[in-house]
Amino acid sequence: MIAAVKGFRDVLPEESRRWQALEDAARELFLAYGFGEIRLPILERTELFARSVGETSDIVEKEMYGFIDRDGTSLTLRPEATASVARAYIEGNLGRADAQARLFYIGPMFRRERPQKGRYRQFYQIGAELLGRADPLADAELLLLLARYLERVGARETRLELNSLGDETCRPVYRERLRKFGERHLDVLCPDCHRRLERNPLRLLDCKVEACRQVMADAPVMRDSLCADCAAHLGQLRALLDQERVPYVMNFRIVRGLDYYRRTAFEVVAEGLGAQNAVGAGGRYDGLVAALGGPDVPGVGFALGLDRLGVATSAGALASGPAAVILPLEERAVGPAFALATRLRQQGLSVGLEPAGRSLKALLRSADRRGARLAVILGEEELQVGRATVRDLVRGQDRRQVLTLDASGPELASAVQALVGADG
Ligand code: AMP
């Protein structure tokens, strides 16, 4: 057998049904907030991620799937989509009318992480990006959208954690303070952290090694280094969230793995997911579009992980089996059974169809196993009178010759619905 590639998996109907519900809810709600769907390519030039996500990020350093194309171009399967959205904004001149663009995307991302429960090498995200707005109202709108969405899909026990990472004025000051702090604890910090200290001290806060975490628990926090503008931005954002009663907690340790974040940074964590409990994350990336060669346009966005959200929500819980299964008792009944199933399916009813050639008992057992509510029986007698017998599998009751075979689709569907709804 040829197995799937490590970290890559099939999303089977039961799970993908939940995903569809999550996607449908996103499409509906995001549109209400003025976001339009963008369908982005999965493949980009490697330099797009090197320049946006950052050379020192884990993603670019060790997690990207790339290859050299036949013409020598280095290409990469996207590890995230914000960089692509920024590229599309520049390339499609999406800010021409007014600088603002509201976009959302749904699709797979690729990162060569160590696979475990809730962490895959191909995973799926739903994300929203609001470009062209620097004011805290934009951040508030986006976080409200996120909170309302989680509420709508029934995400159990999620918590929004918020931080500000400062800007080009105050972040360097903080970075220096962190570097000095790290240098005083070199003996305890892991080899990775030694490297981080050189290249990007903020990422010291991200380390998962227990000894490092203990040291970093006493590290200085960004809050105390925020400049007046950044503090005001955070203050206004918090006031707007409070006004709309969006629950959140401040977490001054959030740094985010990606280099381009400015000011607002946040994560959504869910209870009961185990180690991989982050269902979503995002923040403000005011320098990104300019860094990619576009106009100096700010932006803010989030991405939710479908693989984890599907576990953390009640959306699209598996519906029961088909409303009815059609059972032809003999070969001659196959044609009429097929026609009946087709007409009912065209009316949007979930209907099963069994092949002929087995006893009534065996057919009923199949229908029962599939969780059907009704069995529609087509035997010699039914064909003669032109009406099928319907057995209510839940109540164990027969209604002889109730379904007229040459009725129209809508008539048939309402007859079946009446039988299904017989006892509510
Ligand atoms: P990030 O783009 O790293 O901020 O991640 C945003 C969200 O995507 C996370 O909160 C997860 O829900 C999801 N996610 C990120 N990486 C993975 C992965 N390897 N497997 C599954 N979900 C992931």
- Asked, for residue 83, whether it belongs to a domain, the answer is yes
Number of Cβ within 10 Å of residue 137's Cβ equals 12
**Domain range holding 355?**
321-421
Report CA(303)–ligand 1 centroid distance (Å). Answer: 8
Instruction: State which of 316, 338, 372 marks the end of a domain.
Output: 316
C-alpha span between 384 and 36 (Å, rounded): 56
Instruction: Using the mean position of ligand 1's atoms as its centre, give its distance from the Cα of residue 349 in Å.
Output: 36
Residue that is last in its domain, among 256, 283, 316: 316
Residue 6: inside a domain, yes or no? Answer: no
> Within 6 Å (CB) of ligand 1, which residues are found?
80, 111, 113, 119-120, 123, 125, 278-281, 303, 305, 307-308
Q: How many domains does the chain have?
A: 2
Alpha carbon nearest to ligand 1 atom 18, residue: 119
Lowest mean pLDDT segment, chosen from 168-172, 180-184, 316-320: 316-320
> Per the domain annotation, does 181 fall within a domain?
no
Asked if residue 146 and residue 101 are part of one domain, the reply reads yes
**Assigned domain for 200 exists:** no
What residues form DSSP beta bridges with 45? Answer: 75
Give distance in angstroms: CA of 162 to centre of ligand 1: 17
- The partner residues of 267 in beta bridges, in order of sequence, read 161, 281
* Most informative mutation of 125, 260, 277 for ligand 1 (most atoms within 8 A of CB): 125
Q: Is the pLDDT of residue 423 over 60?
A: no
Residues 271 and 325 grouped into a single domain: no
136 has pLDDT over 90: yes
Identify whether the C-beta of residue 128 lies closer than 8 Å to the C-beta of residue 102.
yes
Most confident among 122-126, 151-155, 269-273 (mean pLDDT): 122-126
CATH value at residue 360:
3.40.50.800
Instruction: Give the Cβ contact number of residue 65 at 10 Å.
Output: 15
- Concatenate the DSSP letters of all residues of 180-220 into one string: HHHHHTTTTS-HHHHHHHHH-GGGGGG---HHHHHHHTTS-
Q: Report if residue 7 sits inside a domain.
A: no
CATH number of the domain encompassing residue 288: 3.30.930.10
Q: Is 85 inside any structural domain?
A: yes
Q: Beta-carbon neighbour count of residue 147 at 10 Å?
A: 20
Domain termination site, one of 299, 316, 333: 316
Tell whether 352 and 273 lie within a shared domain.
Answer: no
Q: Is the same domain home to 298 and 332?
A: no
**90-99, 140-149, 179-188, 272-281 — which one is most confidently predicted on average?**
140-149
**Substitution candidate for ligand 1 out of 60, 124, 161, 276 with most atoms within 8 A of CB:** 276
Q: Given a cut of 60, is residue 390 above it in pLDDT? A: yes
Q: Does residue 335 share a domain with residue 300?
A: no
Name the closest-CA residue to atom 4, ligand 1: 281
What is the whole-number distance in angstroms between the Cα of residue 28 and the centre of ligand 1?
23
What lies within 8 Å, CB to CB, of 278 at 6+ separation is 267, 268, 269, 270, 305, 308
Q: Are residues 336 and 294 in the same domain?
A: no
Indicate if 332 and 417 belong to the same structural domain: yes
User: Does residue 346 form part of some domain?
Assistant: yes
- Report how far ligand 1's centroid is from the alpha carbon of 105 (Å): 14
Q: What is the pLDDT of residue 58?
A: 80
User: Is residue 375 located within the same domain as residue 416?
Assistant: yes
Whether residues 33 and 121 share a domain: the answer is: yes
Residue with tokens 């519906």: 319
pLDDT value of position 200 = 84
Residues 402 and 267 in one domain: no
Closest atom of ligand 1 relative to the 59 alpha carbon: 3
Q: What's the predicted TM-score (pTM) here? A: 0.86
Q: What percent of the chain has pLDDT over 90?
A: 74
Q: Which atom of ligand 1 is nearest to the CA of 279?
A: 12
Give 13-24 pLDDT, tens digit per residue: 888 888 999 999
| Closest C-alpha among 119, 65, 55, 42 to residue 257 | 55
C-alpha closest to that of 277 among 144, 154, 119 = 119
Is residue 220 one of the residues assigned to a domain? no
In ligand 1, the atom with minimum distance to the C-alpha of 280 is: 10
Atom of ligand 1 nearest to the CA of 111: 19
Residue 411 has pLDDT above 80, yes or no: yes
pLDDT at residue 424 in the model? 43
Are residue 275 and residue 164 in the same domain, yes or no? Answer: yes
Res. 157: pLDDT tops 60 = yes
Residues 163 and 249 in one domain: yes
52 pLDDT higher than 50: yes
